[in-house]
Chains A and B, each alone.
Chain A
Amino acid sequence: MSIGMLEERTSADALLDRDWGPEEPAPQRRAGGSSITPHSFDSHGFVVRWPHGAIEFAERPSERVLSVIRKALDLTALPPNWDSYGARTIDPYLVAGTVELLHTLIGPDTPLPSIVPTSRGGVQLEWHCNEVDLEINVSSPIRRKVFFEDFRSGVSKEFTLTGDLRPLLPILNRLSQLD
């Protein structure tokens, strides 16, 4: 998926809070990793299955994107107190939101982020490369807190996204050295 796909997504496509969460109680968490397998639900569909359900994609993510999706999904296997300071387990719904974000943001030229759990049960994506620091904190199903610093230009920004990811476009271009 190229960064161009990001331009096609509008706020109308963004998931709302009510779109998240199972209609029945979440399945009991099982130990072990996630399972990413191809599944044909139409001629192009792709499904990621994990202990907390299934995430469907309109097209198969690239192997690069799948590699970071696996890392995100594996965060739900962290036990309580994984940081030795009382950290919470990672919220599967926030991990699902992170997977969606990864699928949307990472194009063929986009460096892969570090996938970092937070002690409060969220996920943080971090890039520290090409003279850029970019951190995206996924602490709720639709709110993403963004921090960006460009050491080359001296520009530093902090803002919150609640659906429309297009403000990230110039940042991702800069991160990917497409500017």
Chain B
Amino acid sequence: MSTSESYVDDPTVLDVDPLWRRIPPSHFVFDSNNGAFRPSSAAFDDHPNGSPMSVVLGKEVIAVSRLPESVLEGHQGFALAEISAGLARSVGQGIVRKPEDYEPAHAEVFGRKTDSIRRKLAKGSLWVIRPDQSRES
């Protein structure tokens, strides 16, 4: 569990809960060691202005009968990757709910994101919508 300024990890986001992150086409990398495309470590960084990494709580999206594709609306060619809240916490991150008008399931993953941590998040991610499944939105 991590705390950072006003951020406190929310225990109501369970370790098994999925955190979804949009992946732009420029962050698809082919890992021939595993024979598949995966997100680059560069895809799991905080906002350039210093605010924590944005994610969408997948469970909240599904709970209101939204499709995962709704998270990619307006983002042509993007894919959707998932990390578990438990993975984020295992590398010293915390999760805080931060609903927005444009995304009620919005949350932030806070904590220092070293290169090593970003690599672990990338390697531990799974596709919700793969690059070859992404379509025009």
Contacts and interface: CB of A to CB of B under 8 A. Distances in A.
Interface size bracket, A side: 20 to 34
Contacts of A137: 115
Contact of A129 (B27, B33, B42, B45): B33
Given A85-B47, A118-B42, A145 B115 contact: yes
A120 interface: yes
B48 A86 contact: yes
Interface string A114-131: 101111110010101111
Given A83-B24, A128-B30, A131-B33, A116 B40 contact: yes
B49 A86 contact: yes
Most buried by A among B22, B26, B30, B115: B26
Interface in B5-33: 22, 24, 26-27, 29-33
- Per DSSP, chain B at the interface is mixed
A124 B39 CA distance: 13
A124 B115 CA distance: 11
B2 interface: no
Nearest to A124: B42
Contact of A158 (B31, B34, B48, B115): B115
Most buried by B among A78, A84, A88, A137: A84
Interface in A72-116: 75, 78, 82-88, 114, 116
A57 interface: no
A88 B38 CA distance: 22
Most buried by B among A121, A126, A158: A126
Interface size bracket, B side: 20 to 34
Contact of A119 (B22, B45, B75, B78): B45
B130 interface: no
A151 B34 CA distance: 12
B22 A84 contact: yes
Interface in A133-154: 133, 135, 137, 145, 147, 151
Interface in A30-80: 75, 78
B112 interface: no
B18 to A, nearest CB: 18
B27 A116 contact: yes
23 contacts: A78-B26, A83-B22, A83-B27, A84-B22, A84-B24, A84-B75, A85-B47, A85-B54, A87-B48, A88-B48, A114-B40, A116-B26, A117-B26, A117-B42, A119-B45, A119-B48, A126-B29, A128-B30, A128-B31, A132-B33, A135-B41, A137-B115, A147-B119
